[in-house]
Structure formats: structure tokens, C-alpha cells
Amino acid sequence: MDAHGASLPISADVSATALGRAAAPVERVLGLLVEAIAAILVVVEISLLGAGVLARYVFHAPLVWSDELASILFLWLSMLGAVIALRRGEHMRMTGLVSRVSPGTRAVLEALAVTAAIAFLLMILPHALEYAEEENFIVTPALGISNAWRAGALPIGIALMLVVACLRLIRFGSWKPVLLAAAVTLALVALFWLAGPMLKPLGKLNLIVFFVGVVALNVFSGV
């Protein structure tokens, strides 16, 4: 397993298409902007937590809002970090197979990793938007602001990841692996959607296995 993953084929031939050349600076500017915001959030987060600890244990006058604000900023930092990792291809993944196949197959697998991410993000985006909308009516106890400031990190982060993923697909040197990967992804999504009624009971099965495991652990630990 490799945290950095194999390089995308776009790195070797980013100017293969006019659309790819146009997407390159857009991706670069977007990446720099997200990285700058994330860096600022890291500095603010460290300063905020340090001030909270100092106020609580040195001056004995805790900042009641510091933990709440830190948790809000941490969620935003997590989502922006996911965007940066997706852009750099640094999400954790298995690269043993990718490194041993032909360049053509590798390009398809690399494109499939991106199209699968796009499909997943598209499926969870409506729920993230719904959650952020529901949280708009909830007020945080310490800061007295709408909880949408916290929940909004989810749809915005997902939207940014979708933009980055689409830009990566555009920058591929050839459309053939992208189209093939998109077809495979759509087929898998349709297959799992059709198999939904058969897969649903697995949730109950997992729950039964969990309780059996807990009971067995308690029995054997008492022996």
C-alpha cells in the first residue's frame, strides 16, 4: 500500500489536448488557493488551541468558545485536506497491481480510480446539502452562530473534490481510458443499485455477527 500512489499518465503528456492545456492552469490556481486556505487554518487552529490551553491552565479563565470554534475549523481543515490529497493523488490505496500492468491498462485503472471517486461524491453530495440545510436552524451553544458554518464544510469540500477530479480527467492524454473507466463505473453503480434489495439484509447479518462476537468474547474472557 502506498500513500502517494503511482503518477497519473497526465504528468507525462499534460499538453496532449487543447482542453488539457486549458485545464492545467485552472487546476494549479485552484490547488494553490485551497492549499493557502488550509495553511491559514492550520496556523489559526494551532493558535486557537494554544490560547485555549493557556487560558484554562495558566490564567484559570477558560475560553468557553475555543473548543467549539476549533472543532468547526478542524472539519473545514479535514475537507480541504481531502481536496489537496485528491489533487496530488496521495489518498491511501493499493498500488501493487497498478505498478505491474501495461501502460494502457494502468491508464484505465488510474482513470477508474478518479471516476469511482466522482461517482461516490455525486451520491453523497445531495445528502451533504440536505444536512447543511437542516443544520442552518441549529445555533451553537458557545458561539451562538448557525451550525451551518460547521456543516457547510461537507458540501463545499465535496464540490471542490468533484471539480478537482473532473480537471484530472480532462488532463488525461487520451479520452479512451477515461470513457472506458466511466463506462465501468456506471456499470458497477447500476449493478449495486439493482442488487440493493439482496444486499440490504447483510446489515442485519453484520449486527448478528457483532453481538455473537461480543458474547463469545465475554464468555472466553471469563474462563
User: In one letter, which amino acid is 160?
Assistant: L
User: In one letter, which amino acid is 17?
Assistant: T
* pLDDT for the residue 205: 66
Q: What whole-number distance in Å separates Cα of residue 3 and Cα of residue 21?
A: 27
* pLDDT for the residue 95: 67
* pLDDT for the residue 109: 84
Q: What are phi and psi of 146, to 5 degrees?
A: -65, 140
Q: What whole-number distance in Å separates Cα of residue 2 and Cα of residue 95?
A: 6
**Which pLDDT tens digits describe the chain residue by residue (223 residues)?**
444 443 444 443 444 567 777 888 889 999 999 999 999 999 999 999 999 999 989 888 888 898 899 999 999 999 999 999 998 887 766 666 677 778 788 888 888 889 999 999 999 999 999 999 999 999 999 888 999 999 999 999 999 999 999 998 888 877 888 899 999 999 999 988 888 777 777 666 666 666 666 665 555 544 4
Tell me the sheet residues that pair with 195. none
* pLDDT for the residue 102: 80
Q: List, as one string, the DSSP characters of 82-99.
A: HHHHHHHT-S-B--TTGG
Contact, 114 vs 27, CB < 8 A? no
Domain ranges of the chain: 10-185
Among all chains, which residue has been given the C-alpha cell 485528491?
86
Region of residue 60 (phi > 0: left; psi between -120 and 50: alpha; otherwise: beta)? left
Q: List alpha helices for 145-200, DSSP H.
A: 148-151, 153-170, 175-194, 196-199
